[in-house]
Each structure stands twice: as structure tokens, then as C-alpha cells.
Amino acid sequence: MATTKARFAQDDIAAAVPTDQGRAPTQAVPAAAALPNGFSVDLEDGATLLWRMISGEWTEPGAALGRQIDWILETLESAGATGTFFTVGDLARQRPALIRRIVAAGHEIGCHGLFHDSLDELGETAFRADIREARAILSDVAGQTVEGYRAPFFSLRAEMDWAHRVLAEEGFRYDASVLGAGPGLPRRLPGGLWESALTEVRWCGRSWPYGGAWLAALPACAAAPPPSGGTIFYMHPYNVGWNRLKRAGSRSPRALWMRCRHEQVHNLLAPRFRARLADLLGHGRWQPIARLVARAEAR
Ligand SMILES: [Zn+2]
């Protein structure tokens, strides 16, 4: 779970520290036929983000990103699945053709901040400016109205009403940042914004985010999709492998550990991740989160 000083890959690793704080209320699972599931990608370049944390420099996306996106798009198409790509605004500015390829394949583009900064570091005023600029870039590049938001580093928690208010005021229709307690349709918050909580799974008496590296790291029994549907799954491009970082730069123990985690851990888990994702997409229907929000709204 995100803390006030969120760090890279907390999306995957530290995010799984079990806690009841900031969790969305559980929704009842309908007894009728399975609901569609929501598929999502947090579209950031892992190498860019990690290099910024090591060196302070913001670099262009690495060569692996295109190959990772190719694999994801082909896998989704093979499964007849579509999803939401929550995209970093600056990445869309640097790689507009990549974003348009995703749109052309029938997917939704959501907002994942301008430079992937944590809300804890931005504060309300900077957060508003961040999402306003990122949304303008993404809408322009994608040629579609950007309706959804997912916070970097899971840094938008359920109790942060101010962030939900700002999102609604800036024209967003839904937020998909909060870790939830179970599957179900999105719910409407008091200010009018819809919240589509990320699904958590239970294993060994603890809650784990459904997706990311955990899809490969957890045992198969915990990685299987809930049969009820209404699951919100997330992943990053770097989960599918082929990660490389620049060799130059700091030799500090922290930098070496971060490189090891990005290249070795994610690359090691990648084959199992790819196999489990392909299997996962064969169970139930997988759709963009905006479609689940529309379904909830129509009820
Ligand atoms: Zn992210």
C-alpha cells in the first residue's frame, strides 16, 4: 500500500503490505451471471521511471516498451479482450504513435499523471495542474475524451476526499486508484465521481493486489480470477519482461538493488506472468473500466 513516501515498484511490491486503511467498502457480488471484468495497464516506462529515481534525470522511454506493448496488444486481441491503459501524460507526448496504436486496437486511454508523481508529494494545487495538463495531452493524442484516472504509486487512498473532488471538478468521470476488498461494479462517491476499486485477493490471511508481479509471484490458487466477474485487474508493461536499464550512473547499494529488481526480478517472473495472463484472459469477459462504470450508471 502506498505510504507518504511512495517509491517505484510499490505498485507491485510494497503495495501488498496488508492493511485495512484506505480500503474501499466491499460490494455484494451479484448472484446472477458473471459480470464483465475490468482490465487495466498502468502505462509507464519502467526504465524511465527507475532511472529518474537513481539519477534524477528524466529520459526517453527505453527500447523494451514498444515490444512490451506489442505483446500486450496481441495477447488482448487473441483473447477478444479490451482494457484501459492509464497513461503517463509525458509518455504520450513522447510516444504519440504508440498511444494511437493502442486506441486503434479498441482500448480506452486513462490518465496516470503527468510525470508519475505521487499525490503525497504533489498536494492539492499541484495535483490539479498535473491532471489538467496530463488529461489535455492524452485527450489530444488519443482523440478521445479521457474519463478515468489512476494515481501513481497507489497514492490516492479512499479517505482522500479532496482528490476525488478535484478529479470531478477537472472533468473526470471515474477514479480507479483505490485498492478494494472484492469484485463488484464501480460505486458512486458523494461528489458524483465513480470509484472502480482495484480488486484484492486473499492468500495466507492477507490481502494482495490482483495483478502486477503478484500474478506471477502468488501461487496459482490465489492468481485465479474470481468466478463472479467484476474483477479489476492491473499490470505494467515491464511485467511481461525484456527489461533493461542504462549501465552508467550511481553504484550505490540502493541503485544496484533497484536495477536488480527491475531487470532480474521482473524478467525472472515474466514467463510465468505471460502464461498466467493469457490463461486469465480466457476466463470471463475483459473490458475497459469506463464500460463497467457505464454499466453501473445505467442500473
Ligand atoms: Zn504507475
- Confidence at residue 32, expressed as pLDDT on a 0 to 100 scale: 43
Residue 26 is predicted with a pLDDT of 40
State the distance from the centre of ligand 1 to the C-alpha of 298, rounded, in angstroms: 30
pLDDT of residue 297: 92
Cell numbers given for 4: 507518504
Q: What is the pLDDT of residues 21-43, one digit of tens each?
A: 334 444 444 434 678 999 999 99
Neighbours of ion ligand 1 (CB under 5 A): 42, 44, 152
CA–centroid distance, residue 233 to ligand 1 (Å)? 14
Domain boundaries 36-297, CATH class: alpha beta
Q: Residue 221's pLDDT is what?
A: 79
- Ranges of residues in the chain whose predicted pLDDT is under 70: 1-33, 181-182, 246-250
DSSP track, 74-107: HHHHHHT---EEEE-HHHHHH-HHHHHHHHHTTP
CA of 299 relative to ligand 1 center, distance in Å: 31
Residue 73: per-residue pLDDT: 98
Own/partner pairs, 206-212, CB within 8 angstroms, 24+ separation: 206/16, 206/18, 207/16, 207/18, 207/179, 207/181, 208/16, 208/18, 209/12, 209/15, 209/16, 209/154, 209/179, 209/234, 210/234, 211/40, 211/235, 212/11, 212/12, 212/15, 212/236, 212/239
How far does residue 33's CA lie from ligand 1's centre (Å)? Answer: 32
For residue 255, what pLDDT is reported?
78
Question: What's the pLDDT score for residue 281?
Answer: 93
Residue 249 confidence (pLDDT): 60
**Ligand 1 centre distance from Cα of residue 252 (Å):** 24
How far is ligand 1, taken at its centre, from the CA of residue 44, in Å? 6
CA distance 265 to 280: 21
Judge contact between 282 and 79, C-beta under 8 A: yes
